[in-house]
Amino acid sequence: MDFETFRNKLGKKIKKERVARGLTQEDMDDGDDGVPHRTMQNIETGRSNPNLRTLFRLSKRMEISVSELMDI
């Protein structure tokens, strides 16, 4: 798998897990350790890739491990 495909699959996985938990992109931006709405849009559509800090924040917010989040 090439990097672009990986990035797209990761974005879809993040969106799937977020939606499964009933969270909106705006919910992910709540609080000091949130991920900005625009960043969520870019990650979920595969336009950008999350760094480790962002993956940690996402996993914490969704109450899922980083390894589960990246299991694509």
Q: What is the pLDDT of residue 72?
A: 85
Domain with 28, as residue range(s), is 3-69
d(CA 25, CA 6): 21
Q: Are 33 and 57 in contact (CB under 8 A)?
A: yes
Domain total of the chain: 1
Tokens standing for residue 46: 């595969």
The percent of residues above 70 in pLDDT, for the chain, comes to 100
Question: Average of pLDDT values for 48-72?
Answer: 93
Distance of alpha carbon 1 from alpha carbon 5, whole angstroms = 6
> Which CATH number covers residue 55?
1.10.260.40
